[in-house]
């Protein structure tokens, strides 16, 4: 790891980032990556004591934690971009929220979780979320694009979920399939984004919160994180 990447990583950790990955994105379409060859994936872990309470559905406390993580990630993205530009590089910070989602496809041109897999942070679970060994699915993500050339991680290209099925079986809308992800799969091969969105609308109508989180809470890797931190 070169001096700049080490400095960026340590600075982000000092500012409460949980994981940082450096990704080579040169094989992605130029228009998607703004002709920039590298990306920094930033993860912020969600509070395990809050995640432990949403096995049956979202709570107001979870909604506030979700917003806290998003706000921090937005700041960290801009902070990282400023560090890069101060060192003479181009940098484009993205946002952790859904402002980039195409409403016709419910997809983004450059998903944060795709960059995260290329940055070695984790894999895509049956839930279609990024799963990390450290925090399970209990994270939020942001991405910074740059022309700074970093030593990058080995991409994660296959799932480590194996036989785990609890997210599939716990989903209120059964939007997941038993298929294990690999880098050659399309999202539609194992996950129904439109059915998931309907569930979020149902939650919003019932309790005023348009997020879910059940698949985050029940993930065995998340459970390990909760147990490690003294949760339920």
Question: What is the rounded distance in angstroms from the CA atom of residue 39 to the CA atom of residue 62?
Answer: 29
Q: What is the pLDDT of residue 208?
A: 86
Does pLDDT of 11 surpass 70?
A: yes
Across the range 196-218, mean pLDDT stands at: 90
Distance (Å, whole) CA 11 – CA 40: 13
CA gap 85, 69 in Å, rounded? 24
Question: What are the structure tokens assigned to 142, written together?
Answer: 């942001």
| Sequential DSSP letters for 156-182 | P-B-S-TT--HHHHH-TT--B-SPPPB
**How far, rounded to the nearest angstrom, does the alpha carbon of residue 64 sit from its chain's CA centroid?**
17
> pTM of the full predicted structure?
0.94
Task: Quick: pLDDT tens for 156-191.
Answer: 999 999 999 999 999 988 888 999 999 999 999 999
Closest of 79, 71, 75 to residue 8, by C-alpha: 79
Note whether 128 and 26 are within 8 A (CB): no
CB 145 within 8 A of CB 34: yes
Strands 19-24 and 123-124: unpaired
**Cα(59)–Cα(50) distance, integer angstroms:** 9
pLDDT above 60 (res 1): no
Task: Describe the strand order of the beta sheet including 139-146 as a list of residue ranges.
Answer: 19-24, 38-45, 139-146, 91-93
| DSSP 3-state of 102 | strand
Contact 33, 130 (CB under 8 A): no
């Amino acid at each position: 790891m070169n001096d700049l990447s080490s400095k960026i990583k340590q600075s982000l950790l000092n500012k409460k980032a949980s994981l940082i990955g450096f990704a080579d994105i040169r094989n992605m379409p130029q228009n998607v990556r703004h002709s920039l060859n590298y990306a920094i994936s930033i993860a912020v872990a969600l509070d395990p004591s809050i995640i432990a309470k949403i096995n049956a559905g979202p709570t107001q406390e979870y909604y506030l934690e979700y917003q806290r993580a998003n706000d921090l990630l937005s700041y960290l993205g801009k902070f990282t971009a400023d560090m890069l530009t101060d060192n003479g590089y181009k940098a484009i910070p993205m946002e952790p929220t859904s402002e980039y989602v195409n409403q016709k496809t419910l997809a983004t041109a450059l998903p944060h979780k795709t960059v995260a897999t290329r940055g070695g942070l984790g894999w895509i679970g049956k839930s279609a979320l990024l799963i990390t060994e450290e925090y399970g699915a209990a994270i939020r993500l942001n991405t910074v694009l740059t022309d700074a050339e970093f030593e990058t991680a080995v991409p994660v290209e296959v799932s480590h979920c194996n036989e785990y099925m609890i997210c599939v079986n716990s989903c209120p809308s059964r939007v997941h399939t038993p298929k294990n992800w690999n880098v050659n799969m399309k999202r539609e091969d194992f996950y129904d984004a439109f059915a998931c969105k309907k569930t979020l609308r149902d939650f919003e109508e019932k309790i005023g919160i348009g997020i879910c989180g059940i698949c985050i809470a029940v993930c065995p890797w998340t459970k390990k994180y909760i147990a490690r931190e003294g949760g339920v």
